[in-house]
Amino acid sequence: MLNLDVPIVPRLHPASTLSVPETGEQYLVVQATRDQECNYFRISKHTYRLLELMNGTRDLTEIASEYNRRYSGTLDAPQVLQILEKSRLKDWGIVDIDGSAQPVNHPKASYLWMRIKIFPADWVNRAAGLITWAFQPLFFWITLLLTNFTLLGIILLEDLNLQGIRSYFIENSVLALYAWYTATVLFHELGHAAATRRFGARPGAIGFGFYLLSPVFYADVSDAWRLDRGKRIIVNFAGMYMQWVICAGMMLIYLIVNDAFWFYGALFTFVVSLYNFNPFLKYDGYWVLSDALNVPNLRERSNLVLKGIVRALWNGRIPAISWKETLLLLYALCSWGMMLLFLGFIVLINPSEIVRFPAKLFAFFTEIISAGHLPAIALLKAFMIDAIQPISFYLILILSIKKRFYHGK
């Protein structure tokens, strides 16, 4: 406990700056970390105002009285201290109360496993600068026309064998397909960076990680938090849009040379881009919806609403909910429904595999240990492919159970 008899002069740690977008709809603390990256914290208007008053010479009492004078508040020094400590600004090393504050390196985007940087921020920034022209309105409309309308028009009007697409590519070259997929996805990430840059924020690195067992690329566009919601929505759509730009290019070539390869390529690129719409996993659609509803931490917040309503119903009351809570409730229900459907789907396809998997895994490892060497690559590969579904099943199960207990504490 700090002694309040000695004047305490809290200050904003030099690594942190305050930021507020033009629209003034949210308040941010931006904290530079040791690894040249930034952490972004949303704070309330009141906290922002308090931090603004900390000029390094005012003590707690002076901050409180200045706050009361400017905003006709009723704060006193212990309350100011309590706000600073309760908001964990001290723990994060944003507010320095006793001269010991250090910026913390928060694990960023913790839903990604094994994040590694591939392209550093400088490179990304330069490359993004080369494609900002793609965000010109005219170019946008041409892209939209060529991808969505022309593509759908050809699918509807011409007698193309859509079932044949998969086999067309698999027969021709799976490797080329993967290479193409990787290239479009990297371009997708560059799209997020380019939109960020176009609006005047600084794009970060592009890297690689795992999300729910799938390998994914990511673009660090956390500086877009400085932008207003509308611009952030465009930044989050920009990745998908870049894939449409590629798609439009292929459609154009198809329309000129009339070779099915280009059409299939365009369609493949388009279909791949649509995965990002899924708002129930943390893909781009999730962040768009979160900004559109103006609900940060959409998943957590919607689960809280669901929990509150279930609890109220359990206690025999019918809770009054706002339209926003209704939307959050809907989101939570759909989200859980999708998860259950997914789990149910895995169980239904191959129930015996799920049940027998732990025993199989045990047998697999005891065999390796008793043999004293690793199994042949082909055998290992076959085992891994068989294991993907059971592992996803158990992982999701374990994670949801863990989460429940963690929240229960």
Rounded least distance, CB 216 to Zn ion, Å: 9
The tokens of 139 are what? 């170019």
Of residues 81 and 201, the one with the C-beta less far from Zn ion: 201
CB of 39 closer than 8 Å to CB of 106: yes
Report, in this order, helix, strand and coil percent for the chain, each rounded to 5: 65, 10, 25
Rounded least distance, CB 208 to Zn ion, Å: 13
What is the spatial distance between Cα 185 and Cα 216, in angstroms, rounded to a whole number?
9
Of residues 203 and 239, the one with the C-beta less far from Zn ion: 239
Of residues 75 and 201, the one with the C-beta less far from Zn ion: 201
Rounded least distance, CB 265 to Zn ion, Å: 20
CB of 116 closer than 8 Å to CB of 31: no
Rounded least distance, CB 243 to Zn ion, Å: 9
Of residues 54 and 121, the one with the C-beta less far from Zn ion: 121
Residue nearest Zn ion, CB atom distance: 239
Rounded least distance, CB 299 to Zn ion, Å: 17
Rounded least distance, CB 296 to Zn ion, Å: 18
The tokens of 71 are what? 């905003």
> Three-class SS of residue 113?
strand
Of residues 168 and 180, the one with the C-beta less far from Zn ion: 180
Q: How far is CA 395 from the centre of its chain?
A: 20
The tokens of 64 are what? 């409180």
Rounded least distance, CB 281 to Zn ion, Å: 12
Q: Which amino acid is present at 348? A: L
Of residues 239 and 390, the one with the C-beta less far from Zn ion: 239
Of residues 254 and 286, the one with the C-beta less far from Zn ion: 286
CB of 221 closer than 8 Å to CB of 196: yes
Convert 256-289 to b/e letters by CB count within 10 Å (16 or more is b): eeeeeebbbbbbbbbebbeebeebbbbbbbbbbb
Residue 185: which residues within 8 A CB-CB, separation 6 or more?
217, 243, 272
- Outline where 173-226 has alpha helix (H): 174-198
Nearest to 180 by CA among 255, 249, 277, 258: 249
Helix axes 137-144, 229-257, angle to 10 degrees: 50
Contacts 24+ apart (CB under 8 A), 361-364: 361/387
Rounded least distance, CB 269 to Zn ion, Å: 14
**Binding residues for Zn ion (CB under 5 A):** 239, 284
Residue 379: which residues within 8 A CB-CB, separation 6 or more?
none
Rounded least distance, CB 203 to Zn ion, Å: 13
What is the spatial distance between Cα 364 and Cα 234, in angstroms, rounded to a whole number?
48
What is the spatial distance between Cα 18 and Cα 408, in angstroms, rounded to a whole number?
34
> Three-class SS of residue 15?
coil
Of residues 80 and 288, the one with the C-beta less far from Zn ion: 288
Beta bridge partners of 12: 95
Rounded least distance, CB 236 to Zn ion, Å: 7
Of residues 284 and 291, the one with the C-beta less far from Zn ion: 284
Of residues 93 and 239, the one with the C-beta less far from Zn ion: 239
Of residues 192 and 299, the one with the C-beta less far from Zn ion: 192
Rounded least distance, CB 17 to Zn ion, Å: 27
